[in-house]
Amino acid sequence: MEEKPSEIEKGIWKLSVDGSSCLTSSGAGLVLASPDGWTLEYALMFKFKATNNEAEWEALIAGLTIAKHLEVQRIEASSDSQLVVGLANGEYEAREDLMMKYLSHFQGMKSAFEVLRIVKVPRAENVRADQLSKLATREELEKNQTVLVDYLDRPTISQVEVMDIDVPQEPNWMTPFINWLRDGILPEDPVEARKLVYRANRFQF
């Protein structure tokens, strides 16, 4: 028996992403919300220079990667980037080498989801992800105890040649909180464990 559209929508996770780039730094922000109201906000600071378009791709890929590790099956991702949404939906053709690599990486992730929709939204409807991405370009975010913050050492596409999306990867910036959220496993360092629980629990309700 096929599911009705309304039943499918009930099981859809919502992901809002945004990338930001300025002269001194770049970053990404994402908000992941479950169908029953559980929400995670995340800011990702880049240790490399990225254009706005590259930052937008990194934001989308980071959000989908988290969702994949949390074993999300159905998800709708929203972005205010016309280029990224257009490329992801096949409405635009990738012409630059970097955009081709990001698009290829994205397409390799699609099989992990039963339903994956990428939608364009006005910036006014993407406020929180936009705020997080801009915060991620500022040093004071490191002192913020209410937003999960991590660092991306190098562009995601720099690892594409050797990465298989279905093979468990080396520990990275997502590993600690994925272990905690999915499996209830905390870091061995008690200080890091307390910090992780405090910050992660801020966004569960």
Averaged pLDDT, 46-54: 90
Distance CA 205, CA 173 (A): 24
Domains, the chain, in order of start with CATH, read 5-166 (3.30.420.10)
Contact between 74 and 66 (Cβ < 8 Å):
no
Residue pair 59/17 in contact (Cβ under 8 Å)? The answer is yes
Q: What is the pLDDT of residue 123?
A: 83
Note the pLDDT of residue 141. Answer: 56
pLDDT tens per residue across span 84-134? 999 999 999 999 999 999 999 999 999 999 999 999 998 888 888 888 777
Mean pLDDT, residues 29-44 taken together: 86
| Dist CA 12 CA 32 (whole Å) | 11
What Rg do the C-alpha atoms of the chain give, in angstroms?
16
Tokens of 25: 């730094």
Tell me which of 167 and 128 has the higher pLDDT: 128
**% of the chain exceeding 70 in pLDDT:** 75
Res. 14: pLDDT tops 70: yes
The whole-angstrom separation of Cα 81 and Cα 123 is: 9
- Which pLDDT score, from 0 to 100, does residue 185 have? 77
Query: For residues 37-58, b (16+ Cβ closer than 10 Å) or e, as one string?
Result: eeebbbbbbbeeebebbbbbbb
90 torsion bin: left (phi>0), alpha (psi -120 to 50), beta (else): left
Residue closest to 109 by CA, chosen among 54, 142, 143, 62: 62
Whole-model pTM over 0.85: no
